[in-house]
Structure 1
Amino acid sequence: MRKQARKQRGFSRKARLGALTLACALALGCAAWGCAPAASTAPTDSGDEGAAEAPAVEPSDGYSDQLASASGYPTEGRFVDGVTALPDFYQNSEKNAANAEANQPERYTDRNGFTVQPVPADARGFNATYLNAENRGCTSCHTMENAIMSLPTYHRLIFFGYPTEQTFANCIACHSETYQGTNYLGEAVHSTHMGSAMFESQGGNCFSCHYNDVKTSTLKRWDDAKYNLYQGFTDVTAEEAQASVSYDQTTITPAENRFFKTVKDEPAEWLVDDANVDPSIYENWTVSIDGDCENPVTMTLPEMVEQFGTVKQVMKMDCTINGVGQATIMQSEVEGIPLSKVIEFAKPKAGANIVSPIGSDGYDYAQMPIDWVVDNDAILVTKMDGEVLPNTQGYPCMVWVYNTSGGNFVKRISNLTFMTQPEDALMSQVYLGEFADDCTGEVYSKPNSAVLNYPTGVVLTGDEASPVHLEGFADAFNEPIKKIEFSFDHGATWQTLDTPNNDSKYWTYWRLDFTPPEPGSYLLNIRTTSIAPDGTDHVCQYDTQFMFTVE
């Protein structure tokens, strides 16, 4: 792993100097407009006979052009009468080049060892000078992981196994009206930032997180808008790009790339060391089969395996809150006890229509219709990729279900409880990734896609730069993927990867090879289309955007 760069994840030195210059200019401007305290006219007692006399105070209605000397233009007379001086000092290409050189984008080494340049270089230094790009957006100041762990109250955690950068996109679902109806993301972010001494000490303001969209007169999230505002990208049409793209639905996530999500127990009780799995926990773990059933029973996991047998299945886990371009997803070959056999043994009572897997940590909001559990081949997983289920993945047992999000994949099952619910409530706790973005009112990240082998902003050199090899996923939970489209020219032209006969039980894992025509920064837009249950096309409201720089 490359050495971690000592880049302060906050406001850069260039920005601080710029802010200082602006502050000085504003202070001088205030003085010119009569806002500064009046200078004293009393004689001094310094005793220094050689001291120059204090300048006379200008009238309160006087005006002084504070940038007259800075511009280089003659300081007196009409502007229109001094144009003969312009060729001697006023510059075009030289001025732009000098500003670009003074505002070269910063780079750092991320925690996965990749060199990252979040902002493209451009010929004028526009991104730094006029967008203040390096000092805007969530991850310009901090990682999302550390931001969550630094909150004054407890918050559950997600850590990616893939090197994809985690962003605010993973916060949208849980903090939406369609999820819990309280604790909205905007309110939480505003209250924690605007009262933060750290944020204020670094000059943070509304535009640290927002972009003023003059067309709609609204403040949008900077991270949603930034890639469409940056200058310096090399656009390549689909015809010119000639990218090689392919896909399969069988790729398995390597163990080191599985994501980690905390349970609800106290952290001191978590099982997090995968190198030390205690077999006695499995041997003595009991699951209570109870509720509205004829044959309630409590059994150990070994007893359940003996009674019901096990099956192996390749299955995906796509977290219900997986945001646009995020990596809270994996696919594995899992082995476990088929819940259809458990249901058959338990004999649900007449009218019983729900089975609720409940975790030992109290997680009890993953109720599913019995028919859904059977039709989607749910299993109580005890092994993953031929090994005992890791501690970090819910050891000793965890429910997995086809065509369902990770919100129903309950860890460390203690109960399988049968219930009777009204028909209109049967699917109320079956999570299919349909939480809305409160900014638009539309479903946020279904279907979804992301690049999984690099973080956005990665700098590629040598063999990695030609061709550039990208890998990622497309998924829509219970909806099959119809096509994935790729654009290297901000969506002007697209290269389409059709995915016929797609099976929604598995993720769609794509691979792309692209040879950049020249060094520089490039932007890849990914647009994903799935097939909704009514047969219509379902297109994500946001393109996934991925930036990379080649040298």
Structure 2
Amino acid sequence: MRAKTTIVAAAVCLVCAAGLIAGCTPKQSDTAPKPTEGDGAARQETTLTPEEQAVIDGAEGTTNDDINEEFYPGKEYLDGLWDKWDMIATEYAPEIRTLPNGQMVQRTPTEYEVNPDAWQIQAGSNSYNTYWLDADNRGCESCHADLNAVLKNMNYEHPIAWNDELDSKTTLQQCLFCHSYAPGYIAKQYEFGTLMHAIHSGKRASSKFTTEYEGDCMSCHNATENGAGLELWDLTKYTRLWGINDVENVQGEFKTDQTMTQAQDGVFSYDWMHAYYDNMRHGAGVNGLNLDMPQSLFDEWTITVNGNVGKEYTAKLPDLIKEAEAAGVVVNKTSKMVCNWNPVGGGGVTNTEITGIPVSWLVEKAGGAKDGTTGVKALRADGSSKRAFAKNKLDAGEALLVYKIGGEYLDATRGYPCTNWVEGVDAQINSKQVDTYNVTNEDIDYTDKWAGTPNGWQNEAKVPMNKPNATIFGVPDGLIVQNGQPYTFNGFVDAYDEKIASVEFSMDRGETWTKYDIADMDRNKMLWWTYTYKPELEGAYCLTIRATTESGMTSFETQTVMFNAKDKMPSAEETTVLQTAGLVPVKADTAATDNGDKK
């Protein structure tokens, strides 16, 4: 529906109201002064038809159905307003981008449907978001179309928080998750605002931000009158923008799967987080090097089991593998790995095929664990990790010495020649290049995020922020889809050591939820989901997801994605075609590029 059509509908309501009010208005006296020439309100006198006069007088028996807007003398004035705002709506139409990967996005909703009782929009539909709020020029992605690309290409090398295999999309919500309360991981707590203001307004970058991109405080913030102060635009925009279609008790087709796996090169790795050798492992796998690791490292690698055992035991890795294969104890299975620090919407998850030797079998080779054993420390050869897992993981066979992922021997990034692997807990215990299992009788807090194997990230109040974690993949902000055709969303839900009991979706921004129960699942595998929805009305929609565990825990943070359903899909020539997803060229330059990009 074009803006003019919407205004016409509103104008009819005005005419109806005018007709009703006219019946209560005293008739103008015949002696009343007539407009003089030059009077700005002067109009050429016309003779009204009986029908026109009936509308003006509100004649008895006149109903809304009898009113024809063409009879109303104010129609000429409204036509002028329509023309004016049609031009503004065209000039300020929401920008549509074609991203380097071919996806089309419209970050600001088109105001197809608005409240007919809101008088502010009767002569300004399809321009509130862009003309007044300037929404196309606000938020991180107004300048950075893909925050994954920003992290990948920044001067300071950032840990690999993205996951190309699963198509996770980095968002401001994820940035704040890490750059807030993260003692031991982030040196400066609650410094995200300090960092971002310095980057954008400091001497090194301020001229580009303020001059070329015409950036200011409102580029990132939203100023309120309700006491909330300066909000971050990206976190509040879906409650501020007009034109989002709310669907009560949304209905779609929900499916789950636990069989989908990633090959080794798709297994996430938050690299170089810890120590010198971790940096070396990372360096061997980045920039397309994928260096072949020396066979001698594998052949000479030793595994030692010591501590609270019958007798310390050491053997070379190849010998252990041969002996374990002969004994029939080698484990081949699908298993998940989830980072304790993985934010809602993040890609720090994996479901993959692992091949390994049970640590319990290795402990038995050392004479078994003595009485009083509380757990096992998995020690890296470089001494950079002393994390421990509880004895119940040993007894349940959930701790493995892994030397293959996806049927292939480990590469450098995944810890060649071997890594520890413990199921149902934080991936930090999966120590790369492990060479020692120290069976301990120490009184260790095995839920501690530094000494043990925690299950989810907690804030200062000890509230789990990502347990359960319900995430949507593959939807950049404002993704354009075909209206009237089913579209399938996908993602995962996980709760570390707990099973997921239900998944819920909302398409009216959290007012109502549609619940899908999970009959049963393997908590040591990822629970992937798909949700197929067919939009019926052209316009923008917001999809929100949350989950509940078998113990009753519900998502502390939820993820929301916005998408646009179009009756007619735009062609690339009708969009701003981006050749880069990091720092988007300024709009003034985009149309002039040699590749013919145009808005």
State the TM-score, normalizing by the size of structure 1. 0.73
Contact kept in structure 1, 2:309 and 2:439, CA below 8 Å: yes
Equivalent residue in structure 2 for 1:445, among 454, 466, 469: 466
Report the alpha carbon displacement of residue 446 of structure 1 after superposing the two structures with TM: 1.8
Superposed, 1:148-159 pairs within 5 Å as 148=151, 155-159=158-162
Secondary structure in 1 matching 2:242: coil
Contact kept in structure 1, 2:281 and 2:412, CA below 8 Å: no
The answer for the alignment partner of 1:141 in structure 2 is 143
Q: 2:95 is matched by which residue type in structure 1?
A: E
The answer for the alignment partner of 1:265 in structure 2 is 279
Q: 2:311 is matched by which residue type in structure 1?
A: N
The answer for the alignment partner of 1:285 in structure 2 is 301
Q: How far apart, CA to CA, are the structure 1 residues paired with 2:224 and 2:338?
A: 33
Question: What does the per-residue CA deviation read over 1:444-489, in whole Å, with 9 as the maximum and x for residues that have no partner?
Answer: 2221122234434322349xx7110122111111121111111222
With 392-401 and 292-301 compared, the bigger mean Cα shift is at: 292-301
Note if 1:542 corresponds to 2:557. yes
The answer for the alignment partner of 1:458 in structure 2 is 479
Superposed, 1:206-285 pairs within 5 Å as 206-212=217-223, 214-238=225-249, 241-253=250-262, 257-263=266-272, 264-266=278-280, 269-272=283-286, 276=292, 279-285=295-301
Equivalent residue in structure 2 for 1:163, among 151, 167, 171: 167
The answer for the alignment partner of 1:329 in structure 2 is 349
Equivalent residue in structure 2 for 1:304, among 316, 320, 329: 320
Secondary structure in 2 matching 1:224: helix
Equivalent residue in structure 2 for 1:410, among 410, 431, 438: 431
Report the alpha carbon displacement of residue 306 of structure 1 after superposing the two structures with TM: 2.8
Contact kept in structure 1, 2:359 and 2:397, CA below 8 Å: no
**In 2 relative to 1, CA 101–380 (structure 1 residues): closer, same or farther, beyond 3 Å?**
farther
Report the alpha carbon displacement of residue 419 of structure 1 after superposing the two structures with TM: 4.0
Q: How far apart, CA to CA, are the structure 2 residues paired with 1:98 and 1:442?
A: 51
**In 2 relative to 1, CA 322–118 (structure 1 residues): closer, same or farther, beyond 3 Å?**
farther
Question: What does the per-residue CA deviation read over 1:118-171, in whole Å, with 9 as the maximum and x for residues that have no partner?
Answer: 332335233333433333333433344454456665543333122221124444
Report the alpha carbon displacement of residue 116 of structure 1 after superposing the two structures with TM: 3.0
Q: How far apart, CA to CA, are the structure 1 residues paired with 2:462 and 2:341?
A: 16
**In 2 relative to 1, CA 361–117 (structure 1 residues): closer, same or farther, beyond 3 Å?**
farther
With 384-393 and 497-506 compared, the bigger mean Cα shift is at: 384-393
Equivalent residue in structure 1 for 2:127, among 125, 128, 135: 125
Question: What does the per-residue CA deviation read over 1:25-50, in whole Å, with 9 as the maximum and x for residues that have no partner?
Answer: xxxxxxxxxxxxxxxxxxxxxxxxxx
Q: How far apart, CA to CA, are the structure 2 residues paired with 1:409 and 1:84?
A: 83
Q: How far apart, CA to CA, are the structure 2 residues paired with 1:110 and 1:82?
A: 51
**In 2 relative to 1, CA 189–288 (structure 1 residues): closer, same or farther, beyond 3 Å?**
farther
How many correspondences in the alignment?
462
Report the alpha carbon displacement of residue 214 of structure 1 after superposing the two structures with TM: 4.0
Q: How far apart, CA to CA, are the structure 2 residues paired with 1:409 and 1:173?
A: 22
Question: What does the per-residue CA deviation read over 1:172-218, in whole Å, with 9 as the maximum and x for residues that have no partner?
Answer: 45444354384124344344444253255323444433334543424
Q: How far apart, CA to CA, are the structure 1 residues paired with 2:468 and 2:221?
A: 25
**In 2 relative to 1, CA 363–487 (structure 1 residues): closer, same or farther, beyond 3 Å?**
same
Secondary structure in 1 matching 2:333: strand
Note if 1:183 corresponds to 2:184. no
Contact kept in structure 2, 1:175 and 1:182, CA below 8 Å: no
Q: 1:321 is matched by which residue type in structure 2?
A: W
Q: How far apart, CA to CA, are the structure 1 residues paired with 2:553 and 2:290?
A: 39
Determine which structure has more spread, i.e. the larger CA radius of gyration: 2
Equivalent residue in structure 1 for 2:340, among 320, 331, 343: 320
| CA RMSD in angstroms, aligned pairs only | 3.4
Q: 1:434 is matched by which residue type in structure 2?
A: G
Q: How far apart, CA to CA, are the structure 2 residues paired with 1:457 and 1:270?
A: 37
**In 2 relative to 1, CA 543–149 (structure 1 residues): closer, same or farther, beyond 3 Å?**
closer
Contact kept in structure 2, 1:381 and 1:398, CA below 8 Å: yes
Q: How far apart, CA to CA, are the structure 1 residues paired with 2:133 and 2:104?
A: 23
Percent identity over the alignment is: 27
Q: How far apart, CA to CA, are the structure 2 residues paired with 1:410 and 1:111?
A: 36
Secondary structure in 2 matching 1:202: helix
Question: What does the per-residue CA deviation read over 1:478-507, in whole Å, with 9 as the maximum and x for residues that have no partner?
Answer: 121111111222223322111123332222
State the TM-score, normalizing by the size of structure 2. 0.68
Unaligned runs of 5+ in 1: 1-80
Q: 1:209 is matched by which residue type in structure 2?
A: C
Report the alpha carbon displacement of residue 292 of structure 1 after superposing the two structures with TM: 4.8
Note if 1:505 corresponds to 2:524. yes
Contact kept in structure 1, 2:389 and 2:446, CA below 8 Å: no
Report the alpha carbon displacement of residue 244 of structure 1 after superposing the two structures with TM: 1.1
Q: How far apart, CA to CA, are the structure 2 residues paired with 1:505 and 1:452?
A: 21
The answer for the alignment partner of 1:5 in structure 2 is none
**In 2 relative to 1, CA 216–380 (structure 1 residues): closer, same or farther, beyond 3 Å?**
farther
Superposed, 1:8-19 pairs within 5 Å as none
**In 2 relative to 1, CA 300–447 (structure 1 residues): closer, same or farther, beyond 3 Å?**
same
Report the alpha carbon displacement of residue 328 of structure 1 after superposing the two structures with TM: 1.9
Q: How far apart, CA to CA, are the structure 2 residues paired with 1:503 and 1:84?
A: 79
The answer for the alignment partner of 1:435 in structure 2 is 457
